[in-house]
Structures are given as C-alpha cells and as structure tokens.
Amino acid sequence: MILTYNIQLQPDKTTYDYWVSLLTDTAKAYDLCSSLLADNNTPLTIKSVHAKCYNIVREQFPNLPAQSVIRVQKETMSALRSRKGNKHNGDKPTKHNLSITLDKRMYSRLTAESIAICGGTKGKRTAVPFVTYDKEKQMFSMYKPCDPLLFLRSNTLWLSVPFNVPDAVVCNDNSIGVDLGMKRLFVTSEGNAFVDKEYLRNRRKLRYLKRCLQSKGTKSAKRHLKKASRRERNISRDMQNRAVLALIESTDAGVIVMEDLSKIKKNTSKSKDGFKRKRHNNAIAQVPFAEFKTRLTTKAHLFGKEVKTVSPVYTSQTDCRNDKRNGKRIGCRYYCKDGLVLDADWNAAVNIAKKGKHPFPNILPVDGRLRFLNGRVSSITQSSAPLNGSGQAPHFREG
C-alpha cells in the first residue's frame, strides 16, 4: 500500500525560479505532444510517439531535460489512451497543474529534513530544506519513501512523497458486517451506527445555495458556486474521516465485511413496475459510498484490519434469525413473521456478516437498542442493553 505526504519546500530564489520555469516548460511540452499526436492520429505506441514528438519538443524547449521529455510523452500517451477508451470526443487533453515526477537522475539524498535537487547549475544539486512536522518525521522513520512528485501551488513549491507501507498482519479472524445507508452512514452487526445530523443539515443548506446560484447563471454566481462546491466536498471528507475512525475503533474484529455497492444506482434505478426512481437515485448520488470504502480500506490496513465485500442481494429482506424472506421491511424497521420488530439496517448488517463466512458476534438486532457513534467511540447517545434476547453475553458463531 502507498501513503503520500505533502511537504513544503524552502528553496532559494535561484532554485525556485529554475523549477517554476521547468514546470512551465513541462506543461507546454505536454500540450505540444497532445496536439501533435491527436492532430496526426499517431499510433499510441512508445516507438511511434517518441519518433513523432521527441525531436520537436527538444528543439522548442532546449532547457527541458531528456528524461522530462520522455516522461511527458508517456503521460500524454496515457491520457490519449484513456480518452480513446472512454470514447471522449472533446478537446485534446491539456496540463493545468504544474507538476513533475522526479526520478534518481533529478534528485538525491531524500531525508526527513531536505532533498537534493537541481538548482540551475549544471552538474550540481542543491539541498533544499523542508518545513518539517512530527507526522512527516514519523513517516520517514517508519516507511521507505519512493520517487516524489514536485508541484507548484499558490506560488509555493511542494513535494508529494509516497511511502511504501508493508502489508500488515490481520489481528484476528473475527468479523463484523457493515450496512451502508443514506440517513445512517453505516450500521454494524454489533449494534453501532453513525449519524452526523450537523453534516446532513449543512449539506442541505449548501445544496439549496447551489441550486439558487445555478439558476442565476451570472459570473459572480459561478464564482460563488465553486466555493460552495468546495465547501461541500470538504465537509464530506471530514465526515468520512470521522466515520472511518469511529467504525475502526468501535470493534476489535479483524475483518470488516461490507456490501459491494458499485452498481447500486443502476440496479435500483427502476421500481418493480418499471418506473424510474429519480428522487431515489438523486439521494443515493449524494452519499459517497465508494469514497468511504476507499478511505476505510486504507485506514483499516494501518490498524491490522481487512475489508471484504459481499453481494448486497436480499440482505435487507431476509430475517437474520432463520435466513428466510418471510418478513417485511417498512422504513427503519423489519417486521418478522412472528411479530418481533428488528432494526432494519442492523438486521441487514447481520446478514452481511453471515455472507462474509467469518466468526461474528451473534447479537439479536432488536429495534430501539442501536447505539449511535457521534464521531468518537466514547460518545454514545443510547445505552447498550443485552441484545441477544436472553440477557446473556453475546457469543461468536461461524458465518
């Protein structure tokens, strides 16, 4: 697994001017290669791309190192292949962000305090210090760094350093099931749920503001629309990070079993009668299921846990006690055939845990006994009553 950490550089003026000029020439060379390849329908192979672009780019940008030209060719070829594979017929790909990936010919002596890079003097490299933090020093002490990415942001040079994190050993074979939803972001088979009402309220306000700005269509409205979109994205990321930590710290299980919701919008786009469910799909689109799964997979790896996915088919319609679809779900409740009322999301989480085929806590998901995590494990809004129906401690069973 790869983890990245962004580090601010503190170069002198000569080194700064050299790299800004180099990054600008790299972006122009990228645009030139894109035009040459797209306009001439050049076959997207390394040999054909090199023959078409290398000499022309070297003539127009003589200060650009040869390895940078080769890397630009590969990036352009990759972008055109993706454009062709996705059947995009719009404008040619262009490079907006000023960045370049360094290799051993462009840097040396990458440590927790500095990096030696070219500074304008041929055959000589200059040690550029970092703005250091404790987290950055910890990353260097624990993991091995790879080739970094140098980029320009707000007239400041930054270094994005990837670290190669070795595979961690899973702490145990016990598991929990996790059911994802629109109101409750997740509910686990152990009876824990995460709901952030403040986030939901702020998101409703921002989406209303975005609709108002979209209806205006003025230049000022478009500028404020970008700010509102950025604000919505930031609060969503913050909520996901808190939810991921709350989920990981709330359980000792080594395996987290989730639903595979990669095609949920397509599979639920129509009702049983064949009518389109526009409001339902719009609500699903606002919940970042894929991004939450990615963040959870990355973070769980650091805690010695593993994330697995199973099919979501019939997990909400099945009674977790007898594995029969003889009950009825209405809203957040699941009404069993014998009259017992279960929490619908909790019941689905138990069924997901069963599909994972790992030992999991055998806890009866009685409605009203769910515990809510408010971003921190210690913040639980409801008490935990005996949940297995007999007042006994929950035991593990084979899935």
- Whether the pLDDT of residue 227 is over 90: the answer is yes
At 159, is the pLDDT very low, low, confident or very high (cuts 50, 70, 90)? Answer: very high
CA–CA gap between residue 360 and residue 123 (Å, rounded): 61
Determine the average pLDDT of the residues in 25-44. Answer: 86
**Residue for token pair 């979109």:** 229
CB burial class (10 A; 0-12, 13-18, 19+) of residue 126? middle
Per-residue pLDDT reduced to its tens digit, 89-137:
667 788 888 888 888 888 888 998 999 988 767 778 889 999 988 888 9
Residue 149: pLDDT over 70: yes
Q: Indicate the domain borders of the chain.
A: 2-164, 175-196+238-397
Which residues does 54 contact at the CB level (< 8 Å), separation at least 6?
A: 69, 70, 73
pLDDT at position 277, please? Answer: 65
**Does residue 382 carry a pLDDT above 70?**
no
Q: Tally Cβ neighbours within 10 Å of residue 230.
A: 10
pLDDT given for residue 391 in this prediction: 36
Strand partners, 132: none
CA torsion, points 320, 325, 328, 329, in degrees to nearest 10?
Answer: 60
Judge whether residue 278 has pLDDT over 80: no
CA 54 to chain centre: 36
What pLDDT, on a 0 to 100 scale, did the predictor assign at position 36? Answer: 87
Average pLDDT, the chain: 83
**Closest CA relative to residue 1, chosen from 170, 165, 141, 169:** 165
Does residue 285 have a pLDDT over 80?
no
Other beta carbons within 10 angstroms of residue 111's beta carbon come to: 12
- Give 347's pLDDT tier (boundaries 50, 70, 90): very high
Q: Would the pLDDT of 309 be above 50?
A: yes
* Distance separating alpha carbons of residues 224 and 374, to the nearest angstrom: 31
Q: Which of 63-77, 277-291, 326-340 has the lowest mean pLDDT?
A: 277-291
Lowest mean pLDDT among 104-113, 186-195, 282-291, 313-322: 282-291
pTM (2 d.p.): 0.65
241-247-249-251 Cα dihedral, nearest 10 degrees: -170
What's residue 349's pLDDT?
92
Question: pLDDT at residue 281 above 80?
Answer: no
